Structure 1
Amino acid sequence: MPYSNAPSRLLIVLSFAAVYIIWGSTYLAVRFALTGFPPFILVAMRYLVAGLLMLAFCILKRERFPNLPVFGLQALSGILMLVGGTGMVAWAEQYITSGQVAVLIAAQPLWFLLLDKANWRKYFSDKFIISGLLIGFIGIVLFINMGEHEAKQSSMKLIAMIGVQIGAMLWVVGSLVTKKHKGSSSVIMNSSIQLVAASLFSALIAFCAGEFYAFKIDTIPLNAWLGMAFLITFGSLIAYVAYIWLLGHVAPALISTYTYVNPVVAVILGWLMADEKLYSGQLLGLAVILIGILLVNVTGYKQALSKKQAV
């Protein structure tokens, strides 16, 4: 995609603010929403509304649906990313804090390096990437172990932390699927298919897990409704559209800086608004993870800077 279209500086600033702050605050919004919605019902409702709104937009613009193979692959990628990834986040926040989930998700770029087999030769010939990968995973181990020693965590908390990493891996697999099979349809059209497919699959999981049996919509507290509304409007629509827009106007290496900012925003908001605690050992783990991700992206930042200077 071209990066020299000279887009509005204000739009760039606002889009980065949306990706940095809104996505960082969605972890806390999930916690509030969970006070009234079971995790997979929450995910199903969130993505159904957002997906149908996007789909309606595409229909009004008379966009064509992708062919059947691409449609199926986009649906699969949506299930992997949004059910396996985001669904696991919602499930895990029943047992660990929103800030802890955000810190663990920050390691997602490291899983991308390991699972993107087509680019292994490029990745593992770069000393910065190799050192960043090792340091990042040391940070993950520190984060999980230090929390266990300081807080005497239950086995479910440890399982939830491991589950978040599994969700991060599924998100990466889904991202690779959609990256390789974009088809000729628009990003918004493909995204709407992903969202609706993820919603239907989440509803199936919720049904199999028995979430609908105890779910009563008339007993949902206001905080849960506000959390759901925030996730739909700000998380799934505004911030996502801002992210897609940035992909077409700013180098990907620069956009990836949201992985540094989101966990910090989530930790601060959880501390201020939900009395969440993050232990000193886990703060050390966070710092090590962020250093690892920074090293992984050093080469990308250098390339983005050289391109900018060449323009």
Structure 2
Amino acid sequence: MKTRAYIALTLICVLWGTTYFAIKIGVDHFPPFAFMGIRHTVAGILLAVFLLVFRVGKDSFTWKNIRPQLIPGLLMIGLGNGLLGWVEKYVPTGLIAILFALVPVYVVVYNLASGKREVPNKAVIAGIFTGLAGVLLIFRDSLSQMTDRSYASGLAVAFCCTLFWASGSIISKNNRSATGPFFNTAIQLLSGGIFLLAVSLVTESRTQQPTLTSEVIWAMAYLIVFGSLIGFMAYVYAVEHLPLEQVTVHTYVNPLVAILLGWAFLGETVTGNILLATLLILWSVYMVNRALRKRKFRILKTNIKDIPAVLELYREGIALQKSRGKVHWPDFTAEYVREEINNGCHYKIMYGRRLAAVFSIVYNEPVIWEDSPGEKAVYLHRMAVHSRFRGNGLFGLVKDWMLEEARSRKVTAIRLDTWSESKGLTAYYQKAGFCLVGIRKIPETTELQDHYRNTELALFEMKLPRH
């Protein structure tokens, strides 16, 4: 499953980076608004037909579901991506790709300005200003060409395209619907594509006669099949099976692919300032994503209504343990989880409204650690992570939370255990800063679950720094 997801991510990185080159080939021989309008309209029709034929969300095709997707489609596909075709007649494809890499940062700026979701910190602020420096460097490097009105207008419109795309993304995200990404994309492609065809009829029908060359046909086919359909389906598949921050790597790779193709096949000049601007903008996106990613996950106490989802997460974890070795958790019952919840020692990690992971803690371990009644620490037990959120550094998040919990309770250590035969986990915990303090064989006891009996556990501890 993960192999296919990584293949899908590779496709996104390559395909979406090559679309700038394909658009350039098309608009050099065909009116840009007509070219982009046909591309998006045909892609939207094909996707809609696919949904209807295979009965994927067939009942979604109602005005109530279509209407919320019209404005995002107009902004992202019509104005954001559609105007791009006109811009590429005058501005190098690499520059446009670099500017589009800033779209995630624009979304963050909007959330900061509107007081929603994000609270600025030093890393976010630094990332925003680093991206701004990259944009200013692009415009500074282009000063000598600003006397060319077409180039100057194209660069300004390119900047506006990124703002339109960011605006459409924000509206699309705020208009949450249950219709699914394929339906939403089909409607957005159709609304944006039809808008561009209307613009073409008004502005291009008398001034530009379309020339249907082989270059135009191949560029159009490539953009419809690979840029729109395969590219989007690969994106949806990658998002479903990989952590979101891994998928966003395409934001960094796409501009590099566009710059390389523009330099190799279109004769576009790559100056030192352009390379520096590229590094600044990509670094800004990385800093903002990294700072915000850590804050999207929230640790909360589990409640009774979470029990079915918790049990499902445990079942997934048990299946993974069985595939890796002989020792695994037992099948936990709803009563067992309910007791931990009532005792206030069961926690969940939420990503928005999704359950990303669960874990439990205790403050004294008389059997595993042979603690005396008065000895206290923060002990981690049974952390289970949803497959979609593995690789997000959630263990590090829990470790930091445990350190804060230990400080608040005025104890001096955090502790955890795992089966001694788990060499991979032993190395992982040691790399995370825990010290292996010993191996202990658990005696026969009724105070622990059956899987602990006659089992050797590796015990790990992290001491709190003294202030």
Q: Distance in 2 between matches of 1:132 and 1:110?
A: 8
Any conservation in 2 of the 1:147–1:282 contact (CA below 8 Å)? no
TM alignment of 1:196-235, pairs within 5 A: 196-209=190-203, 211-217=204-210, 219-235=211-227
1:305 aligns with 2:395: no
Q: Which of 36, 42, 45 pairs up with 2:35?
A: 42
Q: CA deviation at 1:124?
A: 3.7
Alpha-carbon deviations, 1:254-285, whole Å to 9, x = none? 22221111111000011111111122222211
Q: Distance in 2 between matches of 1:177 and 1:121?
A: 13
Any conservation in 2 of the 1:88–1:167 contact (CA below 8 Å)? yes
Q: Which of 140, 150, 170 pairs up with 1:176?
A: 170
Q: Which of 266, 274, 280 pairs up with 2:266?
A: 274
SS for the counterpart of 1:123 is coil
Higher relative contact order (CA 8 A, sep 6+): 1
Q: In 2 relative to 1, CA 199–39 (structure 1 residues): closer, same or farther, beyond 3 Å?
A: same
Any conservation in 2 of the 1:144–1:158 contact (CA below 8 Å)? no
Q: In 2 relative to 1, CA 265–90 (structure 1 residues): closer, same or farther, beyond 3 Å?
A: same
* RMSD after superposition: 2.2
Any conservation in 2 of the 1:66–1:185 contact (CA below 8 Å)? no
Q: CA deviation at 1:308?
A: 7.1
Report the structure, 1 or 2, having the larger helix content. 1
1:123 aligns with 2:118: yes
TM-score by length of 2: 0.61
Residue 19 of structure 2 aligns with which residue?
Answer: 26
Aligned-residue sequence identity (percent) comes to 26
Q: Distance in 2 between matches of 1:265 and 1:288?
A: 17
Q: Distance in 2 between matches of 1:119 and 1:19?
A: 31
Q: Which of 85, 89, 93 pairs up with 1:94?
A: 89
> Which of 1 and 2 has greater Rg?
2
Q: Distance in 2 between matches of 1:102 and 1:166?
A: 13
TM alignment of 1:57-206, pairs within 5 A: 57-62=50-55, 63-116=58-111, 120=115, 122-149=117-144, 151=145, 154-206=148-200
Q: CA deviation at 1:120?
A: 4.0
Any conservation in 1 of the 2:16–2:254 contact (CA below 8 Å)? yes
Q: Distance in 1 between matches of 2:143 and 2:76?
A: 28
Residue 245 of structure 2 aligns with which residue?
Answer: 253
Any conservation in 1 of the 2:8–2:235 contact (CA below 8 Å)? yes
Any conservation in 1 of the 2:76–2:169 contact (CA below 8 Å)? yes
Q: CA deviation at 1:119?
A: 7.2
Q: Distance in 2 between matches of 1:44 and 1:242?
A: 23
SS for the counterpart of 1:278 is coil
Any conservation in 1 of the 2:31–2:209 contact (CA below 8 Å)? no
Q: Distance in 1 between matches of 2:5 and 2:190?
A: 29
Alpha-carbon deviations, 1:11-62, whole Å to 9, x = none? 1121111110100000000000012221110111001111111000111133
TM-score by length of 1: 0.90
Q: Distance in 2 between matches of 1:48 and 1:191?
A: 11
Q: Distance in 2 between matches of 1:179 and 1:272?
A: 37
Runs (5+) with no aligned partner, structure 2:
298-390, 399-424, 426-467
Amino acid at match of 1:278: V
1:240 aligns with 2:327: no
Alpha-carbon deviations, 1:163-196, whole Å to 9, x = none? 1121111111111222122322121111111111
Amino acid at match of 1:181: N
**Greater shift after overlay, 285-294 or 228-237?**
285-294
Amino acid at match of 1:25: T
Report the structure, 1 or 2, having the larger strand content. 2
Q: Distance in 1 between matches of 2:207 and 2:151?
A: 24
Say how many residue pairs are matched. 301
Q: Distance in 1 between matches of 2:185 and 2:273?
A: 38
Alpha-carbon deviations, 1:130-158, whole Å to 9, x = none? 11001101110111111224x56523222
Q: Distance in 1 between matches of 2:177 and 2:104?
A: 25
Amino acid at match of 2:97: A
Residue 276 of structure 2 aligns with which residue?
Answer: 284
Q: Distance in 2 between matches of 1:118 and 1:279?
A: 34
